[in-house]
């Protein structure tokens, strides 16, 4: 078996005015796990796509085992021993593991696919790297973590010596992430190497040998895992000191503001996604919902915001029943909503910052008189928000011209402007730079301290644990546990997230359970 | 130093402006090019055709304004709808019903009023008629999700048959003969005054321009205009923000239909002075081209309407002078629509657009920058 030593020299890639990669050098030694960390837009994905042959660099070259190569496409990269596991899996759910692995390059006998041989190959590779995959399982029935291992298996089957993984842990539970780390280590023992993108510094520290930090298209630091720590990495990534914990006083809970009883709702495909959720949100409290994505959190929030029909159950806002009420009515009653996918739902990208900032309040007398928009007020409203939230942009710029973080700020500014009683927040820091996360977390706590009831849904466990005063775990449409975020251990939450009920002997879960009743 | 920066800014602003204009002219140029090829292949004298087609901008100034009058209105009807991403393409039907309502009121109701008031009544009737003809499509869309792109176009056919039946039957005029069946003439007191004696353009042109300015103001300043722009940009966001989306669609369709209907009313009072059993001038369809070329901008539509009006007037001269069918003008509009639609399609697919001239402009810009 040949090992692979990959060198990238002075890789430069420009998209219009944006330089995604600016003279990047990167060496991946065989038998190592190499992490690339950086904020969104730092150029990590572009660099990986260059290495996988999907993007041709404007300048620079790639050497594999000392030989200059010109990758013409992913096929070429695969042929040379480079495999990639994308963030979104490319698997056929209705086929078995073995069938998925051999798609496109199946072992044949007499023109027919040799299924037995395929199964044997899958079993052998799975055993060799401890992937724990049964070739006969149907892919659609596997948990996400196993599906990811099927992707890894697929790459290995095609002869990958260097495996690129694009944000592999974004979709995993903590336990699955640990498992993935173990798999990567096992790969390196047989001389293969792994190159993975992440922004979770903790796991980067745990599994990698080498760490390259990127910022704004450049390499700003190279470390060996042994000689650095998370703090130093964060600093190199952001370019300044970063607070990783949020200062937070104990919550001063007030009256119940939002009451949800036995709520049920479908997802877009008509399958029931929320199955009898009951919870109450109190003024001055952050209620967190942890869970692996796709367990009904999105649907729950949309249903509460009035954007998704309620199947059954009841929702009351400050004592008024709002089940089935329109978003406008909910908003006038003091609800606001920071949606998960800001661009898709939270903004009109081609309209100006000022227009986006009044899109929920334009009907009020302060912005409309006799059916005519009061432009001066709309503009001064925008200028005030730009100042208060530090939005880097002008009031008359289209929102799409702002950076991701600033688009986020536009949404937050608008949703918090009315001093809402209830705020639904979904994935507040998704796609946000580390430097800006800090700010958003502070805003959420400040919101609570002003007496708002906050419902926070996040796939980032650290985030929910840090911010929530009251913590639920959602699994398959149900709230399976109510826990005390200050007393519970991450592992226990992870178990709930995976749908496993921890043993009754676990004292922490007992206290949590008592609180729920 | 400061001067340098502001100069540079002005230059970028100027090139950006140039780019917009070039971007809008491109489809036109491309359309002319394709038509030239078609004519060449069919054995026509291409330079003579273009000379006579474009010459009418000068020689038939009032003919140009006469045709600009309805085209500006159907262009506006398109713009209002398209800005909300509501695809009303049945302006021809709404125009017909506007003409029908206008004609009926002019014949049977308006004589009860003084001439000036009568004109007003007729125009209001045609606005209402056009709006009502857009309503079924709007209702089908918001209630049952039937695509308006299909219903509006089907309603054209129904409108056309309805007008024919009424004009050939109940509304048939006394002196109507042979193929040119029509209603009686509208009383001369209600005819719109020509801009110049014995020229085809009337004060209807001023009405169109005034309406364009009003619609421009409406789209940019009114609450509904604001909703249209947000809704047109991102529907999901509009409902998230608490906008009442079905009502936005209905109102948009009503306004769009009313504008097309007004074009029909002006045709009756300004040019035809009666309601013929059929008049297929494709004015609604050409309104789409007008609006697309103007980037759905009401003020641009005034220019676009005049331009296509000139082509239309030129088409008539063309037929007389060069024996080229006047359909050439329709072909040009059709190609303009195709080119712009293709470009929008490319945007949807997220691909880089194949731009001819703008690519050139960009390369010039890059050189300047470097």
SS3 content of chain A, % helix, strand, coil (to 5): 35, 25, 40
Of the residues A330, A352, A359, the best mutation for testing chain B's interface (the one with the most B CB atoms within 10 Å of its CB) is A359
Give A282's pLDDT tier (boundaries 50, 70, 90). Answer: very high
Give the residue on B whose Cα is nearest the Cα of A347: B237
Which residue of B224, B226, B239 is in closest CB contact with A327?
Answer: B239
Which residue of B223, B234, B239 is in closest CB contact with A371?
Answer: B223
CATH code, domain carrying A491 = 3.40.50.300
pLDDT at residue number B175: 66
Q: Tell me the shortest Cα–Cα distance from B101 to chain A, in angstroms.
A: 29
Average pLDDT over residues B192-208: 90
Mean per-residue pLDDT of chain A: 85
- Cβ–Cβ below 8 Å for A350 and B224: no
Are A200 and A347 in a shared domain? no
Q: Tell me the shortest Cα–Cα distance from B149 to chain A, in angstroms.
A: 24
Which of the listed residues A206, A238, A270 is the one where a domain comes to its end? A238
Contact indicator for A58, A13 with CB cutoff of 8 Å: yes
Average pLDDT over residues B241-269: 95
Give the residue on A whose Cα is nearest the Cα of B241: A360
- Cβ–Cβ below 8 Å for A327 and B240: yes
Q: Tell me the shortest Cα–Cα distance from B189 to chain A, in angstroms.
A: 37
Burial A44-70 (b: 16+ CB within 10 A, else e): bbbbbbbbbbebebeebebebeeeebe
Structure tokens at A251: 């919550």
Angle at B271 between CA B277 and CA B28, to 5 degrees: 95
Which residue of B229, B236, B241 is in closest CB contact with A344?
Answer: B236
pLDDT at residue number A103: 81
Structure tokens at A4: 């692979």
Q: Tell me the shortest Cα–Cα distance from A118 to chain B, in angstroms.
A: 37
Q: What DSSP letter does each residue of B308-364 carry, written as one string? A: HHHHHHHHHHHHHHH---THHHHHHHHHHHHHHHHHHHHHHTTPPP--SHHHHHHHH
Between CA B125 and CA B99 the distance in angstroms is: 9
With beta carbons under 8 A apart, name residues in chain B contacting A347: 234, 237
Average pLDDT over residues B5-17: 62
Of the residues B225, B227, B237, the best mutation for testing chain A's interface (the one with the most A CB atoms within 10 Å of its CB) is B237
Interval A177-199: pLDDT, tens: 888 889 898 889 888 999 998 87
Which residues of chain B have a Cβ shorter than 8 Å from any chain A Cβ?
Answer: 221-226, 229-230, 233-234, 236-244
- Cβ–Cβ below 8 Å for A347 and B243: no
Between CA A194 and CA A205 the distance in angstroms is: 14
pLDDT at residue number A401: 82
Between CA A457 and CA A503 the distance in angstroms is: 26
Comparing A119-123, A382-386, B92-96, B224-228, the range with the smallest average pLDDT is A119-123
Q: What is the strand order of the sheet A59-64 is part of?
A: A18-28, A6-15, A59-64, A67-69
- The residue assigned the tokens 């809008």 is B24
Contact indicator for A219, A187 with CB cutoff of 8 Å: no
Are A145 and A201 in a shared domain? yes
Q: Percent of chain A at pLDDT above 70?
A: 94
pLDDT at residue number A509: 38
pLDDT of A431 strictly over 80: no
Between CA A188 and CA B310 the distance in angstroms is: 74
Structure tokens at A497: 């997230």
Identify each DSSP E strand in A16-65 by its residue range. Answer: 18-28, 33-38, 59-64
pLDDT of B44 strictly over 80: yes
Comparing A170-174, B77-81, B237-241, B325-329, the range with the smallest average pLDDT is A170-174
Residue A157: closest CA among A97, A200, A239: A97
With beta carbons under 8 A apart, name residues in chain A contacting B237: 344-348, 359
Total domains present in chain A: 3
- Cβ–Cβ below 8 Å for B222 and A337: no
Are A260 and A357 in a shared domain? no
Q: Which sign does the torsion angle of CA B297, B303, B307, B309 carry?
A: positive
- Cβ–Cβ below 8 Å for A373 and B236: no
Contact indicator for A150, A139 with CB cutoff of 8 Å: yes
Between CA B37 and CA B321 the distance in angstroms is: 20
Between CA A263 and CA A2 the distance in angstroms is: 57
Residue A427, domain member (yes or no): yes
Between CA A339 and CA A345 the distance in angstroms is: 7
User: For residue A210, how far is the Cα from the chain centroid?
Assistant: 23
Residue A245, domain member (yes or no): no
Between CA B290 and CA B74 the distance in angstroms is: 8
Between CA B79 and CA B73 the distance in angstroms is: 10
Which residue of B222, B230, B236 is in closest CB contact with A359?
Answer: B230
Interval A489-501: pLDDT, tens: 877 887 787 777 7
Comparing A20-29, A290-299, B18-27, B102-111, the range with the smallest average pLDDT is B18-27
Give B128's pLDDT tier (boundaries 50, 70, 90). Answer: very high
Of the residues B217, B234, B238, B366, the best mutation for testing chain A's interface (the one with the most A CB atoms within 10 Å of its CB) is B234
With beta carbons under 8 A apart, name residues in chain A contacting B222: 371-373
Residue A397, domain member (yes or no): yes
Average pLDDT over residues B180-204: 85
Q: What distances in angstroms separate CA A164 from CA A101, A197, A205, A223, B223, one per listed residue?
A: 17, 8, 18, 19, 51
pLDDT at residue number B353: 39
Q: Tell me the shortest Cα–Cα distance from A319 to chain B, in angstroms.
A: 21
Task: Report the length, in residues, of chain A.
Answer: 517
DSSP-based three-state secondary structure for A430 = coil
Q: Which of A124-128, A414-418, B98-102 has maximum average pLDDT?
A: B98-102
Between CA B243 and CA A268 the distance in angstroms is: 21
Are A432 and A330 in a shared domain? yes
Count Cβ atoms below 10 Å from residue A108 Cβ, excluding itself. 12
Give B17's pLDDT tier (boundaries 50, 70, 90). Answer: low
Of the residues B217, B221, B230, the best mutation for testing chain A's interface (the one with the most A CB atoms within 10 Å of its CB) is B230
Residue A467, domain member (yes or no): yes
Burial A76-106 (b: 16+ CB within 10 A, else e): ebbebbbbbbeeebebeeeebbbbbbbeeee
ipTM above 0.85, yes or no: no
Count Cβ atoms below 10 Å from residue B230 Cβ, excluding itself. 25
Q: Crossing angle, helix B223-233 and helix B204-221, to 10 degrees? A: 70
Residue A507, domain member (yes or no): no
Are A81 and A36 in a shared domain? yes
pLDDT at residue number B368: 44
DSSP-based three-state secondary structure for A12 = strand
Residue A510, domain member (yes or no): no
Residue B286: closest CA among B306, B271, B270, B300: B306
DSSP-based three-state secondary structure for A85 = strand
Structure tokens at A485: 């975020």
Angle at A376 between CA A375 and CA A382, to 5 degrees: 90
Are A134 and A52 in a shared domain? yes
Q: Which residue has the higher pLDDT, B14 or A424?
A: A424
- The residue assigned the tokens 């939002």 is A258
Between CA A397 and CA A45 the distance in angstroms is: 28
pLDDT at residue number B218: 95
pLDDT at residue number A516: 38
Which residue of B230, B242, B243 is in closest CB contact with A351?
Answer: B230
pLDDT at residue number B177: 59
Are A171 and A188 in a shared domain? yes
- Cβ–Cβ below 8 Å for B223 and A339: no
pLDDT of A517 strictly over 60: no
Which of the listed residues A417, A449, A478 is the one where a domain comes to its end? A417
pLDDT at residue number A177: 84
User: For residue A360, how far is the Cα from the chain centroid?
Assistant: 27
Which of the listed residues A355, A386, A417 is the one where a domain comes to its end? A417
pLDDT of B26 strictly over 70: yes
Q: Percent of chain B at pLDDT above 70?
A: 85
With beta carbons under 8 A apart, name residues in chain B contacting A334: none
DSSP-based three-state secondary structure for A439 = helix
Count Cβ atoms below 10 Å from residue B159 Cβ, excluding itself. 24
Are A36 and A87 in a shared domain? yes
Mean per-residue pLDDT of chain B: 84
Residue A511, domain member (yes or no): no
Task: Return all residues near B12 (Cβ < 8 A) that are at least 6 apart.
Answer: none
With beta carbons under 8 A apart, name residues in chain B contacting A338: none
- The residue assigned the tokens 């661009």 is A343
Count of A-B CB contacts under 8 Å: 66
Q: Which residue has the higher pLDDT, B287 or B169?
A: B287
Q: Percent of chain A at pLDDT above 90?
A: 36
Comparing B16-30, B239-253, B260-274, the range with the smallest average pLDDT is B16-30
For residue B182, the cross-strand partners are B276
pLDDT at residue number A433: 67
Interval B346-365: pLDDT, tens: 554 443 434 444 444 454 44
Residue A357, domain member (yes or no): yes
Residue A488: closest CA among A228, A248, A174: A174
Give A205's pLDDT tier (boundaries 50, 70, 90). Answer: confident
Between CA A425 and CA A415 the distance in angstroms is: 10
Q: Tell me the shortest Cα–Cα distance from B352 to chain A, in angstroms.
A: 12
Q: What are phi and psi of B48, to 5 degrees?
A: -65, -40
Average pLDDT over residues B76-91: 95
Residue B234: closest CA among A371, A433, A411: A411
- Cβ–Cβ below 8 Å for A348 and B234: yes
Give the residue on B whose Cα is nearest the Cα of A326: B242
With beta carbons under 8 A apart, name residues in chain B contacting A344: 234, 236-237
Around A367, how many Cα atoms within 13 Å sit in the side-chain half-sphere? Answer: 19
Contact indicator for A474, A290 with CB cutoff of 8 Å: yes
Contacts 24+ apart (CB under 8 A), A359-368: A359/A414, A359/B230, A359/B237, A359/B238, A359/B241, A359/B243, A360/A331, A360/A336, A360/A414, A360/A415, A360/A418, A360/B241, A360/B242, A361/A414, A361/A417, A361/A418, A362/B223, A362/B226, A363/B223, A368/B223
Comparing A84-88, A151-155, A433-437, B144-148, the range with the smallest average pLDDT is A433-437
With beta carbons under 8 A apart, name residues in chain B contacting A308: none
Which residue of A328, A348, A371 is in closest CB contact with B242?
Answer: A328
- Cβ–Cβ below 8 Å for A355 and B243: no
Between CA A96 and CA B24 the distance in angstroms is: 53
Q: What are phi and psi of A292, to 5 degrees?
A: -70, 145
Are A89 and A197 in a shared domain? yes
User: Three-state SS across A127-164?
Assistant: HHCCCCCCCCCEHHHCCHHHHHHHHHHHHHHCCCCEEE
pLDDT at residue number B5: 52
Are A450 and A410 in a shared domain? no
Which residues of chain A have a Cβ shorter than 8 Å from any chain B Cβ?
Answer: 305, 307, 326-331, 337, 339, 344-351, 355, 359-360, 362-363, 368, 371-373, 375
Of the residues A303, A362, A420, A425, the best mutation for testing chain B's interface (the one with the most B CB atoms within 10 Å of its CB) is A362
Are A75 and A99 in a shared domain? yes
Domains present along chain B, CATH in parentheses: 2-173+181-352 (1.10.3470)
**What does DSSP say about strands A335-338 and A422-426: parallel, antiparallel, or unpaired?**
parallel
- Domain with A350, as residue range(s), is 341-417
Comparing A202-216, A249-263, B327-341, the range with the smallest average pLDDT is B327-341
Count Cβ atoms below 10 Å from residue B85 Cβ, excluding itself. 14
Are A374 and A436 in a shared domain? no
């Amino acid at each position: 078996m040949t090992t692979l030593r990959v060198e990238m020299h002075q890789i430069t890639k420009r998209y219009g005015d944006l330089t995604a990669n600016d003279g990047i050098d990167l060496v991946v030694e065989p038998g190592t796990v190499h992490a690339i960390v950086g904020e969104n837009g730092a150029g990590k994905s572009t660099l990986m796509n260059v290495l996988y042959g999907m993007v041709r660099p404007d300048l620079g070259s790639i050497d594999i085992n000392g030989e200059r190569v010109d990758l013409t496409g992913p096929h070429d990269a695969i042929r040379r021993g480079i495999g990639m596991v994308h963030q979104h899996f490319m698997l056929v759910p209705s086929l078995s593991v073995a069938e998925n692995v051999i798609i496109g390059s199946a072992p044949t006998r007499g023109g027919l696919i040799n299924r037995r041989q395929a199964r044997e190959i899958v079993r052998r590779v799975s055993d060799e790297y401890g992937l724990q995959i049964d070739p006969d399982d149907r892919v659609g029935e596997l948990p996400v973590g196993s599906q990811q291992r099927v992707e890894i298996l697929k790459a290995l089957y095609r002869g990958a010596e260097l495996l690129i993984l694009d944000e592999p842990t974004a979709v995993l539970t903590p336990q699955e992430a640990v498992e993935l780390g173990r798999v990567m280590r096992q790969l390196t023992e047989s001389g293969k190497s792994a190159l993975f993108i992440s922004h979770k510094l903790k796991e980067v520290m745990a599994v990698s040998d080498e760490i390259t930090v990127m910022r704004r298209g450049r390499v700003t630091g190279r470390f060996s895992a042994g000689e650095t720590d998370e703090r130093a990495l964060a600093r190199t990534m952001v370019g300044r000191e970063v607070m990783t914990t949020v200062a937070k006083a104990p919550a001063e809970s007030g009256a119940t503001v939002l009451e949800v009883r036995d709520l049920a709702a479908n997802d877009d495909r008509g399958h029931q996604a929320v199955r009898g959720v009951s919870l109450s949100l109190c003024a001055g409290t952050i209620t967190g919902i942890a869970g692996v994505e796709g367990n009904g959190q999105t649907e729950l929030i949309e249903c509460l915001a009035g954007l998704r029909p309620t199947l059954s159950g009841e929702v009351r806002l400050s004592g008024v029943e709002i089940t089935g009420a329109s978003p406008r009515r909910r908003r006038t009653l003091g609800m606001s909503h920071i949606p998960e996918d800001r661009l898709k739902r939270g903004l009109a990208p081609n309209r100006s910052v000022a227009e986006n900032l009044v899109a929920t309040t334009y009907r009020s007398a302060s912005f409309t008189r006799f059916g005519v928009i009061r432009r001066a007020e709309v503009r001064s409203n925008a200028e005030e928000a730009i100042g208060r939230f530090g939005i880097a942009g002008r009031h008359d710029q289209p929102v799409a011209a702002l950076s991701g973080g600033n688009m986020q700020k536009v949404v937050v500014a608008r949703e918090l402007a009315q001093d809402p009683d209830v705020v639904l927040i979904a994935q507040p820091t998704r796609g946000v730079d580390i430097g800006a996360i800090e700010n958003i977390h502070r805003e959420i706590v400040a919101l609570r301290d002003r007496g708002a009831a906050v419902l926070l849904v996040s796939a980032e466990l650290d985030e929910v644990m840090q911010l929530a005063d009251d913590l639920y775990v959602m699994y398959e449409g149900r709230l399976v546990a109510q826990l005390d975020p200050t007393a519970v251990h991450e592992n226990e939450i992870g178990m709930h997230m995976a749908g496993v009920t921890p043993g009754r002997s676990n004292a922490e879960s007992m206290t949590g359970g008592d609180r729920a009743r | 130093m400061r001067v340098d920066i502001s100069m540079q800014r002005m230059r970028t602003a100027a090139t950006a402006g140039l780019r917009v204009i070039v971007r809008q002219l491109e489809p036109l140029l491309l359309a002319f090019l394709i038509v030239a090829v078609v004519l060449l292949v069919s054995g026509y004298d291409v330079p003579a055709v273009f000379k006579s087609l474009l010459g009418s901008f000068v020689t038939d100034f009032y003919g140009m304004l006469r045709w600009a009058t309805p085209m500006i209105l159907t262009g506006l009807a398109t713009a209002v709808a398209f800005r909300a991403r509501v695809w009303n393409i049945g302006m021809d039907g709404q125009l017909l019903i506007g003409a029908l309502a206008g004609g009926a009121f002019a014949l049977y109701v308006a004589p009860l009023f003084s001439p000036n008031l009568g004109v007003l009544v007729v125009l209001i009737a045609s606005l209402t008629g056009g709006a009502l003809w857009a309503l079924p499509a709007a209702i089908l869309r918001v209630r049952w999700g039937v695509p308006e792109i299909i219903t509006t176009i089907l309603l054209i056919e129904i409108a056309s048959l309805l007008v024919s039946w009424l004009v050939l039957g109940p509304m048939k005029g006394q002196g109507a003969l042979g193929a040119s069946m029509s209603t009686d003439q509208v009383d001369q007191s209600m005819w719109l005054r020509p801009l110049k004696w014995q020229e085809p353009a009337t004060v209807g042109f001023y009405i169109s321009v005034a309406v364009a300015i009003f619609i421009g103001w409406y789209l940019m300043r009114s609450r509904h205009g604001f909703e249209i722009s947000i809704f047109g940009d991102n529907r999901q966001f509009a409902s998230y923000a608490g906008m009442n989306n079905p009502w936005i669609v209905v109102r948009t369709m009503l306004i769009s239909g009313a504008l097309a209907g007004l074009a029909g009313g002006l045709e009756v009072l300004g040019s035809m002075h009666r309601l013929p059993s059929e008049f297929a001038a494709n004015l609604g369809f050409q309104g789409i081209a007008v609006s697309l070329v103007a980037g759905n901008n009401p003020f641009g539509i005034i220019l676009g309407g005049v331009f296509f009006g000139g082509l239309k007037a030129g088409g008539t001269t063309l037929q007389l002078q060069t024996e080229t069918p006047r359909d050439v003008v329709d072909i040009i509009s059709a190609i303009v629509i195709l080119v712009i639609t293709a470009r929008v399609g490319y945007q949807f697919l997220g691909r880089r657009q194949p731009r001819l001239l703008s690519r050139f402009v960009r390369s010039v810009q890059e050189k300047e920058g470097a």
